[in-house]
């Protein structure tokens, strides 16, 4: 019985490095991104070097912007000897929840020099009006 407890106590420590492996792997192959805002819009920028415009899909669904795509592997060796390759290839997917004042109908995107910039205009806030309400007595 003592051996079982010692052995089972070992498993959590062995399992720990693999606990969030899927998340870490997704982050490793996901393009680097940043988000910013100003008075008129929100912007999401993603590094997508080597990704063709036709290999990028941008969708907006229920307040979430999703960018999916694929960086295709193309190599012509012709006698070259490769010692290493650090470039990443393959499919990617990133999703970003939009704030409540984002205008989902007017999202635009531009790809220039390997950087995708998604622009989401802010909706004009409705005019707030206030008035005094008379409290009646019964």
Helix (H, G, I), strand (E, B) or coil at 135: coil
Threshold 0.75, pTM exceeds: no
Q: Tell whether domain 33-121 is in CATH 2.40.10.480.
A: no
Composition of the chain by helix, strand, coil, percent to 5 = 25, 35, 40
Give which of 122, 91, 125, 86 is closest to 104, Cα–Cα. 122
- Residues 76-92: pLDDT tens digits? 556 567 666 656 677 88
Domain ranges of the chain: 33-121
Report the pLDDT value the prediction gives residue 4, as an integer from 0 to 100. 46
DSSP per-residue string spanning 68-131 = EEEE------TTPPP-------EEEEEEEEPPTTB-GGG-EEEEETTEEEEEEEBPPPPPP---
Report the pLDDT value the prediction gives residue 10, as an integer from 0 to 100. 54
């Amino acid at each position: 019985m003592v051996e079982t407890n010692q052995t089972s106590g070992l498993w959590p420590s062995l399992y720990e490095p693999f606990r969030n492996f899927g998340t870490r792997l997704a982050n490793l192959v996901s393009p680097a991104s940043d988000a910013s805002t100003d008075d008129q819009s929100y912007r999401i920028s993603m590094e997508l070097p080597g990704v063709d415009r036709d290999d990028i899909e941008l969708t907006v669904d229920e307040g979430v912007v999703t960018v999916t795509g694929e960086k295709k592997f193309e190599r012509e060796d012709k006698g070259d000897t490769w010692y290493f390759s650090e470039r990443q290839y393959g499919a990617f997917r990133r999703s970003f929840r939009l704030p409540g004042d984002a205008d989902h109908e007017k999202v635009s995107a531009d790809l220039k020099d390997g950087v995708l910039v998604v622009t989401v205009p802010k909706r004009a806030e409705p005019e707030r009006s206030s008035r005094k309400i008379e409290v009646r007595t019964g």
